[in-house]
Structures are given as structure tokens and as C-alpha cells.
Amino acid sequence: MKKNKPRGIKLRAAPIVLSFVILGLLVGAVSYQSMPVALDLDVDESKDTSADMVVPAVPSESESESVAVAVDDKNNEEEPLPGQLERDLWAQTVHRYLQEDLWNDQNAYDAGHYLMVPVHAAFELDEDAWQRAFAAHFARFLHAIDLQKEALTAGRLARLQYLYLASRFAVAAEKTGKGYLVSPDLVYFLYDEIHRLWAVEPAWQWARDPFEGGIRERLTWKLETDGTKLARSYYRAIIDEELFLIAIAADLRAYERLTKSEHRYSATIDEVLNTARTILLQEVVPQTGGGWLFQPGVWTDHPDYAYAGNADKYPEIKPAPVVGIAQDSSHSHRFPLWLTSLSDAYDDDSLEKEFYVSLKQGLERQFFNKVLVMPTPDFPAVRLTNFMDGSNGVYRWGYQTQGEGAGYGPYELSGTFILGWWSFLGSQRIADVYRELSAQFPLPEKVIDVYVGPNTLRERHELVSNPESYHNGFRELLVILAADLAELEKIRMSTEREAP
């Protein structure tokens, strides 16, 4: 397949705005016909999917020329988003992947990772076929769990990660006027899950009986407990399943705002969001340079961090815990989107939104100040340090999915960057990093070896296995779309700042 030259959209703000203005003048207000989500959504990417909708008229050649007058020659030559390369890569990866039962034990965790950038791109880039592919996938999911409730993986983390993909789908659709693609049953299911985990189902905890009052009770205990009096510091760590639950709850509040609706569990959402704000006010520690760390030191005596003081891997490696160690950069890649969800939950002029936007800006500074390492003569691509404070020791030595005598050495968590979630920081410089990286595909084997690190022993779908995903187009697509999303977010933020 012939590749298109990677292109930026730094100068596209004016053309994008102008095109919408002209289109509005040409066709007036356009509304989509309402339709059941289950109708004709699982379509071939190569076929026309617009037959069921009223769509804007395509400007005539003379009208297109009038639009082009306002655009410089360089931008005229640039391919509109998404380009043919993105469409080709999508067809051979995401489109195929969405046909699978991604909610099961094998796939749910990876699907939540690999499809998050694509689901946002589908709506931000206004690709109808892409949007309908996601709608069809979630329609199949609802049908599967209706037939057999156990079809959805029971593992809490994988379950919540997959459901976070669903909640972001719902918000992205509503934000862009495509709410008809979201089944109410999907939203109701998310409410039920959040309420159950928050207040009903017992929540496990290290070295003690589960909390009968659910995650709500467990988080209350963590926030009120003095960590210095615990046998292990990590007993009060705020963990991924809690943060995913918070993010989904925030998405449900954003959905309520966008649809002007309420639910019988809206009060539960209030509780979750109030707790989220307490967590981030209490557990975020400001750093020199305007960045911040989340719960530094809480993981010091956890087995995953036991070898962090070793500068490299070697056969006779010994435990070397680091007092005050920051969270690893791999798990931290979810924070930009979690903060986006929390920001979306509030009105634009609210103090809460300002709080979460400022946290995301601080995270961006921490990432560039301490974590991101630009290409060097010795290594031609970007890398990430293993921990958010810039330290780069060994992580997860002997972990169950790596096996005995294996673990992540310096920079070997860098592959997480390719999933694209750091693009949700929404700054021009993160867009530039992704754009420059996209121009380097196919990546040299030396780079892929570091990005893969000690490959997982866990069984995965062939499209997202490593190193295959670096060669089959999936990760290349994620990097290109990540650059597109970051640049569009930067344009949006700039426009909002300039508005009267």
C-alpha cells in the first residue's frame, strides 16, 4: 500500500471554521432522521452508509472555488482529515477488530486500550461509517449480554476498561449531534454498573475482608487512613478500577448535561464526583516546574516496584525499593482522558471544570519535564521514563504476565505512548510529537524491541498482539489519529479562549 505523506493541520483552524460557515449558508439547518440504533449499522466500509440520512448537499465546483479563495495554496494541497492512509489502516485494523466479541475475558482489557483513540476520532473527524461501526459493535454487545449476562468479562478492571470505552462513545456521540447512535439501554446499563460497584457489591482490599459498602466505603477508608500506620504503604493506593469507575460516572454526568436528563442513580453520580474531587485535592502533590504527581510514595513497598532502584536488568538482580517513588508511566497514560471526562462533567464556567483543566495542564508539564525523552543519535524515536518522576529503574520484575527472570528495564514502558492516550493532553507540542512519530513508520526493529519490552504471556487477539500490532497498521493508525485529535483539541481550546 502506498503511503501518503504525513501532514499536519496546524494552519487549518481558519479553513475548518470557514467551511462550516459556507456549508451552513449553502444548505441551511440540517437534521438527521431518527432511527433505531440496531438498523443497518454493521455496514461494509466500502459501501455508502448515508442512504438512511438527510445529509448536507455537496458544494458545486464553483462554490468550492469560492471557499478556496480564503485558503492559502499550501493548505489547498493538504488532504482533508482523515486522509486515505487513515481510511486504509482503519479498514484493515479497527473495522475488523470491531466485528469481534471484544467484551469477553480475552479481549475486553485490550479493546478498552486500542479503541479509545479511534472512537474519539470517529466523531471528531466526522466519519459516518466509523461512527456506525462503533454503534453496531455496542448493539451486538447489548444483544450478547441480554442473551447471557455472563458474556461480559467478570474481571473488574477489564470490565470497567471496556465500559469506559462505551461511556466515551456515548458522550462523543452526544457532543457531535449523533446521539441517535446511542442506545438508551447502553446508558442504563452503565448507570446500573456504577451504582452496583459503588454502593452494593463488596469491594476487595489487601490484607483484610472486603468492604461490604462497596467502592464508596473502600475509598472513604483510604482517604481517612494514615498511611504511616499501615503495614504496607500501597494499602491506601487509589487503584485503576476506582479511577475508571469515577471516569465513567463523570461521563454519565456529561451525558445528563448534554441530553438534559436525569436517572434514578443520578444521586450516586453526585457522590462519586464529590469523592473524585476530594481524591485529587488531597492526593495530588505539586512539583517543581508546574507539574504534579499522584500519590508519590504510595507504591514504594508494592512488589511491582520492588526493583525500581536498579538502573538496569541483570540475572542476579536484587530488590531495591525507592522511597517516594512515583506511579509508573504506563498506568499513568490514562490520566489525560480521565481528567477530560471529569472536565466534561461540568459547565464551562464552573470552578470544577477550571480545576480539572488546570490539572490536565499540570500533567502536560510533568510529562514533558520529566517523562518524555526526545529522539537522540543513539535512539531515533521518543521514549518514556518508567516512572512519572523521571526515574527509570526496573518495573514489575517477575510479574505474572512476564514470567520469572523478566521485567521492564529502562524505557521499556514506552510502548504505551503508541496507544495515543497522551494526545488527550490537547497541547500543540503533544500533537507535534505524535505527528513526528507517525512519519517514522515503519518503525525500526530497534525501536519496536524497546516499545514491546518483555512481551506479555497473556493470550491476545492477533490484531493487538505484539510485535504484530507494530507491523499490521494498528499502532501506526493510533499515532496518526492521536496527532489529529491533539491538534483539533488545541484549535478548540484556542477558539474558546478567543471567544468574547
> pLDDT at position 403, please?
72
pTM of the model: 0.84
pLDDT-derived band of residue 368, with 50, 70 and 90 as boundaries? Answer: very high
Arithmetic mean of pLDDT, 334-357: 97
In the predicted structure, residue 19 carries a pLDDT above the cut 90: no
Q: Cα-Cα-Cα-Cα dihedral of 398, 402, 404, 408, to 10°?
A: -50
Pairing of the two strands 383-384 and 284-286: unpaired
Looking at per-residue confidence, does 13 or 91 come out higher? 91
Q: How many CB atoms lie within 10 A of CB 45?
A: 18
Locate 493 and state its grid cell: 481550546
Determine the length of the chain: 500
pLDDT for 83-108, tens place per residue?
899 999 999 999 999 999 999 999 99
> pLDDT at position 498, please?
54
Arithmetic mean of pLDDT, 343-359: 96
Query: Are 424 and 340 contacting, i.e. CB atoms less than 8 angstroms apart?
Result: yes
pLDDT for 371-410, tens place per residue?
999 999 999 999 999 999 999 999 999 887 777 888 999 9
The DSSP-derived string for 185-242 is HHHHHHHHHHHIIIIIS-B--TTSPPBTTHHHHHHHHHHHS-GGGSSSGGGGPPPHHH
pLDDT for 201-247, tens place per residue?
999 999 999 999 999 999 999 999 999 999 999 999 999 999 999 99
Domains of the chain: which residue ranges?
A: 303-332+359-500
> pLDDT at position 169, please?
98
pLDDT for 250-308, tens place per residue?
999 999 999 999 999 999 999 999 999 999 999 999 999 999 999 999 999 999 999 99
